[in-house]
Amino acid sequence: MTVFAGVFRHDRQPIDEGWRRLLTRALSRDPRDVAQVVNRPGLLLAKVDIGVYGEPAFIDEGHAAVGAGEPLVSGPPAAPRQQDLETLLRAHVKGDATAFSQARGTYAAALYDLGSHRLCLANDRLGVRTLYYTQVGGCVVFATALRILDALPFVPKRVDNGAVHEWVTIHYCFENRTPYQGIYMLRGGERLLADGNGIRVVTDWAWDKVPDDRPVTPEAVDELYQLFREAVDLRLRGDTAARAQLSGGLDSRMIVTELRRRNVDVRTLTLTWPRSLDAVLAEQYAARLGARHFMAEVPRPMPHDISYYTDQVYRENAAFRDVPGARPGLVWAGDGGSVCLGYVNTTPALVEALRAGRYNEAARIHVERKFMRLRSTLLKREERERFNSYFESRIADILRSYGGRDPGRAVQWFMLTTQERFQVTGLYENIDLRRFEYVMPLFDTKLAAAFQRFPLDECMGHKLYDKWMDRFPAVVRSVPWQAYAGHIASPLPLPDADIQWKPLSADYHAQQRRTALARYRSVREAGLGRPPFIRPEVELAALMFTKLGHSKLAYLLDSASAYRAWWSARSDL
């Protein structure tokens, strides 16, 4: 269940043969892959599967469906993935949304009802598994990776200036937007329904409608732990061994601890730089658990997302890759825990401003904490003036739209539904090349929903998380951990090592320059043009200063590269 794309024609006429060839060719950059295709009047579905889950999640029996990821509609025990896809397909044909609201995994699916010529696009309630869509003439075109739509010349790519500023600055877009006008990202809990009359988007699950008034009792915390154990069981599927990322924080530690509690043979992996707290604490904790531990050095800052380096280790280190009892191509990861369970971006100052209705102030606080600053020096005057205070006003409007009981939760809701889903986008864009899947039980939607049901003040700063930790074996607190500022810290002293947020060193700046120059070289060699709103003299100055060994303008050079890539519809660069 890896990557898919398709075309749906409202008028049920045959799909253009040229479109079919272009789309199936764009699915994968690995020459070994052969697409499975459903091609009938009004519908084209195509998918490539790297075989991690065994079953292809492909149905072509009158009704049709393709899937990516792992829906986990029922259990534990979890049903086979093909059965889950069949369950979702039946639900679509019957017009029943129950199965979509019950699915606990991270997945995307395209489901087709032959009798009524209806298409359904769906993904998980957090929107972690990406699914993009657009309308071209009388068609809906969709794909699980934006690079696929980039490669289709029949899909118009017109840059949305505001959205591209978002992506270049913070590496994601707000709400359901992408850097292109008219190309959207399906949000968690949504389904797109298309038929002969057009399209509509329905919402099956809204995170701001989750009740948040449950008292924090011992029984409630017990239930949270039981839900986590279920989340692990659903994804473990009887494996006796596993590969898992392990950092110096808590989220990956919780997962590895639960796996070891089941006597699973765990090979742990830490990707960091030498002498970091991540390296020291992860090694200590792996030894305490009796897990075989691996560490791979990565540059700081990283030129690529973390999945790139995970893939390198998986390919090159047979002792980590070839684990008897572990399914090939699966790596457990702690993504989702900090926001879904730990409320890391919700601070007392933010909550106070939101509860008082001071949304502009709350937006300013959030923008400053997350370093959301427009690259104004790089932009021409008209563009700077047009987008002055853009991030503050956009976020303030989003926070105002929160519909829950306690307005103080608006930032938690915003992060849960917007930023957090982008943590693993890099893997899904490149899964045809990286050939593995993350197993992420902290993105279990039932578990995440349960953690939102308590009053905000009982959850902030890892308060509820800390109570949840008490349900784990005592070993979980036997080694100190890195904590976010203002959150519950380990009572044990930290070893003498570099914290994750250490001041930037000369080595850091040197790597930043190398990365910026390499990216700029790649976009220039690809012949990608400069957007009209970029100041050429500033771009040139950033290039020259960076070449001469000065780091202050390297971030502008990197931004210029990103603008060129998006402007030329080359998201892969």
Any idea what the Cα angle at residue 527 is, between residues 31 and 373, rounded to 5°?
A: 100
pLDDT value at residue 420: 81
Q: How many CB atoms lie within 10 A of CB 559?
A: 24
User: Average pLDDT for residues 483-499, to the nearest whole number?
Assistant: 91
Q: State how far the Cα of 245 lies from the Cα of 438, in Å rounded to an integer.
A: 10
pLDDT digits (tens, 9 = 90+) for 336-382: 999 999 999 999 999 999 999 999 999 999 999 998 999 999 999 99
CATH topology assigned to domain 218-340+422-477:
Rossmann fold (3.40.50)
pLDDT value at residue 275: 80
Higher pLDDT, 420 or 457: 457
Q: Which segments within 114-238 are labelled E, that is strand?
A: 118-123, 132-136, 139-143, 184-185, 190-195, 198-203
Q: State how far the Cα of 160 lies from the Cα of 166, in Å rounded to an integer.
A: 10
pLDDT value at residue 504: 67
C-beta separation of 369 from 391 below 8 A = no
pLDDT digits (tens, 9 = 90+) for 206-216: 999 999 999 99
What average pLDDT is seen over the chain?
A: 95
pLDDT digits (tens, 9 = 90+) for 467-480: 999 999 999 999 99
Structure tokens at 82: 């093909």
The shares of helix, strand and coil residues in the chain, as percent rounded to the nearest 5, are: 45, 15, 40
**Displacement of CA 362 from its chain's centroid (Å):** 25
pLDDT digits (tens, 9 = 90+) for 117-176: 999 999 999 999 999 999 999 999 999 999 999 999 999 999 999 999 999 999 999 999
pLDDT value at residue 61: 94
The candidate with the shortest Cα–Cα distance to 180, out of 142, 215, 220, 146, is 146
Q: State how far the Cα of 31 lies from the Cα of 25, in Å rounded to an integer.
A: 10
Q: Give every CB contact of residue 468 below 8 A, 6+ residues apart in sequence.
A: 221, 224, 225, 228, 341
> If you write DSSP's letter for every residue of 494-512 in order, what string do you get?
PPSSB-TTPPPPHHHHHHH
C-beta separation of 424 from 416 below 8 A = no
The candidate with the shortest Cα–Cα distance to 273, out of 255, 247, 291, is 247
pLDDT digits (tens, 9 = 90+) for 216-275: 999 999 999 999 999 999 999 999 999 999 999 999 999 999 999 999 999 999 999 878
pLDDT value at residue 549: 94
pLDDT value at residue 75: 87
Q: Give every CB contact of residue 230 below 8 A, 6+ residues apart in sequence.
A: 75, 76, 444, 446, 447
Secondary structure (H, E, C), 355-386: HCCCHHHHHHHHHHHCCCCCCHHHECHHHHHH
Is 3-205 assigned to CATH 3.60.20.10?
A: yes
pLDDT value at residue 505: 79
Structure tokens at 369: 């904490």
Domain boundaries, the chain: 3-205, 218-340+422-477, 345-421, 506-567
Q: Give every CB contact of residue 4 below 8 A, 6+ residues apart in sequence.
A: 27, 45, 46, 47, 48, 66, 67, 68, 108, 110, 143, 144
Q: State how far the Cα of 353 lies from the Cα of 154, in Å rounded to an integer.
A: 47
Residue 573 has pLDDT above 80, yes or no: no
C-beta separation of 186 from 176 below 8 A = yes
Beta-bridge partner residues of 190: 203
Q: How confident is the model at residue 334 (pLDDT cuts 50, 70, 90)?
A: very high
pLDDT > 90 fraction of the chain, expressed in percent and rounded: 93
Alpha helices in 370-505 (DSSP H): 381-386, 390-400, 410-414, 425-429, 431-434, 445-451, 463-469
Residue 87 has pLDDT above 80, yes or no: yes
Q: Give every CB contact of residue 432 below 8 A, 6+ residues apart in sequence.
A: 2, 3, 27, 28, 29, 30, 33, 48, 50, 145
**Element (DSSP H or E) covering residue 268:** strand 265-272
pLDDT value at residue 502: 62
User: Average pLDDT for residues 303-320, to the nearest whole number?
Assistant: 96
Q: State how far the Cα of 51 lies from the Cα of 2, in Å rounded to an integer.
A: 8
Q: How confident is the model at residue 36 (pLDDT cuts 50, 70, 90)?
A: very high
Q: In the sheet that 118-123 helps form, which strands lie side by side, from edge to edge?
A: 58-61, 63-69, 107-113, 118-123, 190-195, 198-203
Determine the 3-state secondary structure of 443 from DSSP. Answer: helix
Q: How confident is the model at residue 51 (pLDDT cuts 50, 70, 90)?
A: very high
Q: State how far the Cα of 206 lies from the Cα of 237, in Å rounded to an integer.
A: 29
pLDDT digits (tens, 9 = 90+) for 13-31: 999 999 999 999 999 999 9
* pTM of the predicted structure, to 2 decimals: 0.96
The candidate with the shortest Cα–Cα distance to 563, out of 366, 368, 374, is 374
pLDDT value at residue 418: 87
Q: Give how far Cα 129 sits from Cα of 6, 73, 81, 423, Å.
A: 16, 15, 15, 11
Q: State how far the Cα of 126 lies from the Cα of 106, in Å rounded to an integer.
A: 8
User: Average pLDDT for residues 545-570, to the nearest whole number?
Assistant: 95
Q: State how far the Cα of 530 lies from the Cα of 464, in Å rounded to an integer.
A: 49
Q: How confident is the model at residue 497 (pLDDT cuts 50, 70, 90)?
A: confident
pLDDT value at residue 127: 96
pLDDT value at residue 300: 86
**Displacement of CA 376 from its chain's centroid (Å):** 27
- Backbone conformation region of residue 135, classed left if phi is above 0, alpha if psi is from -120 to 50, else beta: beta
The candidate with the shortest Cα–Cα distance to 188, out of 101, 59, 288, is 101
Q: State how far the Cα of 475 lies from the Cα of 255, in Å rounded to an integer.
A: 13
The candidate with the shortest Cα–Cα distance to 219, out of 457, 449, 450, is 450
pLDDT value at residue 501: 56
